[in-house]
Amino acid sequence: MGAGHHHQLYLPGDSVVHRLPPQCKLLAVLAFAIVVVATPRERFWAFAAYAALLAAVAVAARVPAGHIVRRMAIEIPFVLFAFLIPVIGLGERTTVLGLSLSVPGLWAAWNILAKATLGVVASILLAATTEPRVILVGAQRLRLPSLLVQIAMFMLRYMDVIVDEMRRMRVARESRGFVARDVRHIPVLARSAGALFIRSYERGERVHLAMLSRGYTGEMPITHDISASVRQWGTALALPAVALAIWGLPW
Amino acid sequence: MHVPDGFFNAVTSLSAGVVAAAGVAVCLRGARRELDDRTAPMAGLVAAFIFAVQMLNFPVAAGTSGHLLGGALAAILVGPYTGMLCMAVVLLVQGVFFADGGLTALGVNITIMGIVTVLVGWGVFRLVTGLARGKVVVAAFLAALVSVPASALVFTLLFWIGGTAPIEVGAVAAAMGGVHVLIGIGEAVITALTVGAVLAVRPDLVYGARGLARPLVLRGAEGTTTTVGEERPVAASGRLKPFLFGGVGLTLVLAGVVSFFASPEPDGLEAVAETHGFGEQAGDHVFGQWALADYGDVGGIPVGVAGIIGVGLVLLIGGVVAHVARSRDKTKV
Amino acid sequence: MGPTVVNSLEVRQLAYAYPDGTQALFGVDLSIARGERVALLGPNGAGKTTLVMHLNGILTAGHGTVTVAGTPVAKDTLKEIRQRVGLVFQDPDDQLFMPTVRDDVAFGPANAGVRGAELDRVVEDALDQVGMLEFADRPPHHLSFGQRRRVAVATVLAMRPEILVLDEPSSNLDPAARRELAEILRSLDVTVLMVTHDLPYALELCERALILSGGVIAADGPTRELLADTGLLARHRLELPYGFAIPAG
């Protein structure tokens, strides 16, 4: 959470990866994540191969490494937690650099770090090569309930508007010398949150009126649909397929 | 903190995914019933609000800060169905667009931070408002207070079933519990004050306060007054039972799942793997199932029982607080 | 005007009270002929927004009738009415709810069943009319306020409305954006009802003005004459900006 959310997610481009239909990419990333999670953690080479696969996708999509690394900051809390596991873990212990560490703990830390990182990078690549609204079109193609997709669409549309409103409220507070420092300041934050809720709710009502006045009856008109060819499915699903092949190799 | 890929084994992630999908399906119907064709814009805007409010860091104690989960707040402000839907969408968007929380862990995240916080928060809220009518802010406080440790408890439970880290469950429970009781207090204060702030300006927007409005008074010409009932549909009353049953049911289901996974027998997937001869090749760790049986209990008390005792304690505390609030109410009258 | 000409908008004896009992409209009468540009002036709380909400059936009249191009506003005509009455809200962010400008402009016609190449043509026409065609694939959040208001006008134009109803069109616009919008509005071949308390803007764009005050139409006449009557303006809490003099001619 926090600052990481305000980097630009989508990097416009015209690569093979950018051009793939969103439903193919969504399914490919999900399948890839499942293969990664199901891979036994002893198979170091498998994880290296997965990383190489993602690197290949990044190169094909021309997503700069810097972008990926910056956005990986989202992972930091769990990385810290992963480093803690060997220290507090159970089981047989070993000494590394004078620290007594749990062997199963080290395995677990490695397991979480490797899988979480691969999952995060795959998601980052998806978001970097697919516009948010297009991802939603893909989700709808994958038979996600259309109401859920609509809600997510409205959330994405108004997220920045509301976060901006919240920021303006904070500026207003701070310009009058108020900085939330300790518990006594919580009431002020809560009043802002209350005001923010009222504004959001009332905006929701106005948006609904605006929709009604342009003929909304509860269903979103589908104005552009993206269908995928067998070849495109093949290209996208190559990622999890190769990963699965690596998983199935006799090591 | 959102659970990433690889933290829970595949079976647990998948099971939680099924629970989350079922929960979302129920809420889609429920929200449609409440909001009709307003569902999409209203839930979307409330989800955006929850997203924004989660960025609000609040100071917990000197030097540390926490941020709102928002499940109880959402449930009280817009009702349990819409609230849960909003939480699910927030987590979905965070996972898919912001890589915050793994895709395979989406079910776990929605279950822990969406379903549990909303269900527990709303359950406690209804219980307290049912016992002490009109104490919306007190109820909001207790609802949020309980919802956060409850979420941590379910996290611990899932960790015990299918966590991939070899940490004693007791230690996880203690660490999670300790931190989340503190965060729960912050969440409770913010939730209660936010609900209070909305109540002061637009009481009609607080879903949980519907049906608690005072009856309208008609003044006659000779100074006579008549009271008429509220004509709005009363949303809040009579809905307590389903939530109590839901809560008890969830506990029982979880307990059932726990006993199933805690058994030393191989589970379905592993059994299939063995009969097809690739079990050995896949190794013991394919589904991170290792040594589960060793963590069957903590200090001699099976965790499932401990969980049920915990739920009971929480209900008891809630009941006592509500009772006190109600008797105070009576003395005032 | 002769009896054969159908007015774009006819409101007769319209009264309305909110569910909480507050009455906002007390019998509004007005008619607007096809092609007219009319300003609806009034202080805050006069019932302007409430009146506007009746024009496309978002609110249902408690008493009286609203007729759009001969079709009365009723439950079974709502679909048609909403296509004929284009409401432009005050905050363009409320109106632009779709992920891109193009999707947003397409929303109305698509709900009316327009699809494919015809839809593209309608959308591009509408954006062209407000000079925003080159921004078709941008997300609305990345546009300036003035640009967003122009797109909001386009979303409504794409529905080929009989009458365009604008709520405070000049609010929050810088002088250049204000002038550009005025030019666009003047170039449109459509009936316009403009709700505002920006009196110079009303004078600039509308020949005729109505004053809504206390839930009834308090005055109806040439904008120039109404604005020259300082007593009338003062009675209805309307004021010309400091230093503004009605230009001669």
Instruction: Walk me through the domains of chain C, giving residue ranges and CATH numbers.
Output: 9-235 (3.40.50.300)
Helix (H, G, I), strand (E, B) or coil at A63: coil
Give domain status of residue B228, yes or no. no
* Nearest one of B207, B180, B202 to B73, comparing CA atoms: B207
CB neighbour list of residue A78: distance below 8 Å, 6 or more residues apart: A112, A116, B1, B4, B7
Highest mean pLDDT among B9-18, C41-50, C65-74: C65-74
Q: How many CB pairs under 8 A join A and B?
A: 290
Count of the separate structural domains present in chain B: 1
CB spacing of B44 vs A208 below 8 angstroms? no
State percent of chain C over pLDDT 90.
Answer: 61
Q: What was the pLDDT predicted at B318? A: 45
Domain that holds residue B127: 10-211+236-274+285-332
Averaged pLDDT for residues C243-248: 82
pLDDT of B236: 40
pLDDT exceeds cutoff 90 at B287? no
Domain-wise residue ranges, chain A: 3-131+227-248, 145-212
Question: Is the separation of the CB atoms in C68 and C85 below 8 Å?
Answer: yes
Minimal Cα–Cα distance from B74 to chain A, Å? Answer: 10
Find the range with the poorest average confidence among B267-276, B310-319, C9-18: B267-276
Residue A56 tokens, joined: 């290949």
Q: What is the mean pLDDT of chain B?
A: 70
* Neighbouring C-alpha atoms within 13 Å toward the C-beta of A125: 31
If you average pLDDT over each of A83-87, B286-290, C171-175, which comes out highest? C171-175
Question: What confidence score (pLDDT) does residue B211 get?
Answer: 66
CA atoms within 13 A on the CB side of A158: 36
Write the DSSP string, B236-272: STT-HHHHHHHHHHHHHHHHHHHHHHHSSS--HHHHH
| Per-residue DSSP letter, C5 | S
Domain for residue B217, yes or no? no
Query: What's the pLDDT at A223?
Result: 65
Is A214–C155 a contact, with Cβ atoms under 8 angstroms apart? yes
Residue A102: which H helix or E strand, with range? strand A99-102
Virtual CA dihedral for B118, B121, B123, B127, nearest 10 degrees? Answer: -160
Would you say residue C89 has pLDDT above 80?
yes
Confidence band, pLDDT 50/70/90 cuts, at residue B282: very low
Cα C20–Cα C95–Cα A157 angle in degrees, nearest 5: 110
The DSSP secondary-structure symbol of C222 reads E
Please check whether residue B208 is in contact with residue B125, taking contact to mean a CB–CB distance below 8 angstroms.
Answer: yes
Amino acid symbol at B37: D
Q: Rounded to a whole number, what is the distance in Å from the CA of A11 to chain C's nearest CA? A: 14
Please tell me if residue C156 touches chain A, with a CB cutoff of 8 Å: yes
Give the CATH number for residue B203: 1.10.1760.20
What share of residues in chain C are helix, strand, coil (percent, to 5)? 40, 25, 35
Q: Rounded to a whole number, what is the distance in Å from the CA of A150 to chain C's nearest CA?
A: 10
Chain C neighbors of A209, CB-CB under 8 A: 53, 58, 89, 94
pLDDT of residue A192: 86
Q: For the stretch A112-123, what's the b/e string if a residue is b when 16 or more beta carbons lie within 10 angstroms of its beta carbon?
A: bbbbbbbbbbbb
pLDDT of residue B208: 85
Query: So what's the pLDDT on residue B220?
Result: 58
Q: Are C41 and C238 in contact (CB under 8 A)?
A: yes
**Of A5, A151, A189, which is closest to B43 when you measure between CB atoms?**
A151
Q: What token pair was written down for B262? A: 């805690």
pLDDT of amino acid C151: 95
Q: In the numeric block, which tokens belong to residue A246?
A: 């690596």
**DSSP H or E stretch at residue B20:** helix B10-35
Nearest CB to C110 within list A161, A203, A223: A223
pLDDT by position in tens, chain A (length 251): 333 344 478 888 889 999 999 999 999 999 999 999 988 888 889 999 999 999 999 999 999 999 999 888 888 877 887 888 888 777 788 887 778 888 888 888 899 899 999 999 999 999 999 988 889 989 988 988 888 999 999 998 898 888 888 888 888 888 887 776 666 677 888 888 888 999 898 888 889 888 888 888 877 777 667 788 899 999 999 999 999 998 887 65
- Whether pLDDT at B106 is above 90: yes
> Higher confidence at residue A221 or residue B196?
B196
| Residue with the two structure tokens 């300082």 | C230
Report whether pLDDT(B224) > 80: no
Q: Which of C98, C43, C88 is nearest to C211 (CA)?
A: C43
Instruction: Flag whether B5 is in a domain.
Output: no
Q: What is the pLDDT of residue A166?
A: 87
